[in-house]
Structure 1
């Protein structure tokens, strides 16, 4: 009996220590200038375990980010408190997290330190293509930042444009140090499909930039373009001539349709042409205007003085 009780007590003690062991793999990350602390749960943790996460700068103490959350991450850019986030573009940050169950808590586990503008992962730009003959126009749109904008943080950011003929990526060409977000490439072969990929390059964050998705577009032939206009002109003129011919050939039918010559019945004509016989109309016709009654100005003035 004593051995059983001792085993139970040891089991309870082991369970408590296991539940309140610290979170693992705690790391502070940033994507497009957000600030997110992530971690893994303690080994053997219960599903009812909650976490509290905090962050600090290199010159301030810890501030609350998330309290009693079940998820395994906390976005400090949008803290779960009534206080407004104080994350800035060039700050140095560290995070920490602890596990909680009821009134019991584990020890704090601190993360790595990151400098936001140097360590944030810059997301993929959006790339669109438009073919015009044997040229291709490339339009680039910067990723949206949670804090500030790409151009405000990285004033001298440039693009690296990589393109190749479809199926020949090993022969890709590169254009670097592009600052414009609209580029026209006119050294393309006609009737060829090209694929493009763009990556953002910054001096302060050289190794944390994701390339765009690969997009492809086919060129045509500049010599074929005038024929398109000539064909459109021919179709328009042919349609106009056909309409004129139809109007001439079927002019009588069209005239009869628009201006029918059907005569009105005789009794309708007699009714419309007959003089009015209404008694009211005749009374108005034979009536005389009423006599007007007036007084001269002198008579009115004399009467007023008397």
Structure 2
């Protein structure tokens, strides 16, 4: 091998050798700390020209605590710090995240994110919206999104949470009407056309958070054409309950009179219960049965025998009847 070739090889090893010997990898790119509904997630992209098999370790810190390692040797390109039961993640805290890449025994330098304030920088997600239609009105019922830390009204205060409602006839989105700065999570859209389908969309803002909330999925509902039906049903129900209550009270107060009327104790008038006092009734009551008189009877056969007390039979013989005197 010529001397020039050896010098060229040594030069290449000098230029590229320290990176391999020191084991320093390029760090992740586009590292950012984000928050959605009060969670805390660090996201990043792989290093440029990264080989396969890379894993990552990520940490976070607050204004008053040092870095805490959460995700270790993970192949994912994000780490959810709020998934851990860590009380140091406060909704009013200021946080920073960092991540490094690892390949075997080699590791990159730490790459930090920008700081964020959780209450100011979190994105408020879309609420859940349900509709109830009656006649020419639609009631909008809004359910706040679920937060990873605290609740919406606890984090910002009930008076600082604002609901914005947009509604339009189905198929006419360009004619949408907005109701803004509403403080109640229930609202009635009135003076609508009957037998018409309306769509509603809601997003939430908080006075302490400059970022607009994400809008909900549009929900549609059709109005009805029977005015006054719910009111009439309520009145009829009230009257039925009032009459039943009055009947019950009267039954309790006049229970004795009602019982005597339905089940009287005397079935017959008193005059029918008294025994008659006529002379015929008295004579019949005090009379004795009459004395009976009878004569003995004997039966004499042809041979002169006498049978007493035996029944007469058709024997074809003649007989005479002897009647004795009593």
Q: What TM-score comes out, normalization by structure 2 length?
A: 0.63
Q: 1:167 Cα shift?
A: 2.1
Q: Which residue of 1 aligns with 2:114?
A: 112
Q: 1:1-306 to 2 correspondence within 5 Å?
A: 2=5, 5-6=9-10, 9=13, 20-79=25-84, 84-155=86-157, 156-223=160-227
Q: How many residues align?
A: 225
1:18 and 1:43 in contact (8 A); partners too: no
Cα gap change, 1:33/1:16 in structure 2, threshold over 3 Å: closer, same or farther? farther
CA distance in 2, matches of 1:165, 1:18: 64
Instruction: Report the equivalent of 1:237.
Output: none
- CA deviation digits over 1:41-68, x for unaligned, max 9? 1012122111111111123321212111
1:18 & 1:164 partners in 2: Cα distance?
Answer: 62
For residue 31 of structure 1, report the CA deviation from its aligned partner. Answer: 0.5
Q: Check whether the contact 1:118–1:204 (CA below 8 A) recurs between aligned residues.
A: yes
Q: Is the 8 A contact 1:19 1:42 kept in 2?
A: no
Q: Distance in 1 between matches of 2:22 and 2:229?
A: 77
What SS does the corresponding residue of 1:222 show, helix, strand or coil?
A: coil
Please report how far the alpha carbon of residue 128 of structure 1 lies from its aligned counterpart in structure 2 after TM superposition.
0.9
User: Could you tell me whether the CA contact under 8 Å between 1:127 and 1:198 is conserved in 2?
Assistant: yes
Q: 1:120 touches 1:208 (CA, 8 Å); kept in 2?
A: no
Distance 1:178 1:52, change over 3 A: same
Corresponding residue for residue 240 of structure 1: none
RMSD, aligned α-carbons: 2.7
- Aligned residue for 2:123, secondary structure, equals coil
Unmatched 5+ stretches in structure 2: 234-326
Gaps of 5+ in 1: 230-306
**CA deviation after TM superposition for structure 1 residue 39, in Å:** 0.4
Instruction: Give the TM-score normalised by the residue count of structure 1.
Output: 0.67
Structure number, greater radius of gyration: 2
- Separation of aligned partners in 2, 1:16 and 1:85: 42
Contact 1:161 1:176 in 2 (8 A): yes
- 1:63-121 deviation per Cα after TM superposition (whole angstroms, max 9, x unaligned): 21211111111111124xxx835211000001111111222211111101100000001
Is the Cα–Cα contact under 8 Å of residues 119 and 208 in structure 1 kept in the other structure? no
Q: How far apart are the structure 2 equivalents of 1:223 and 1:149?
A: 39
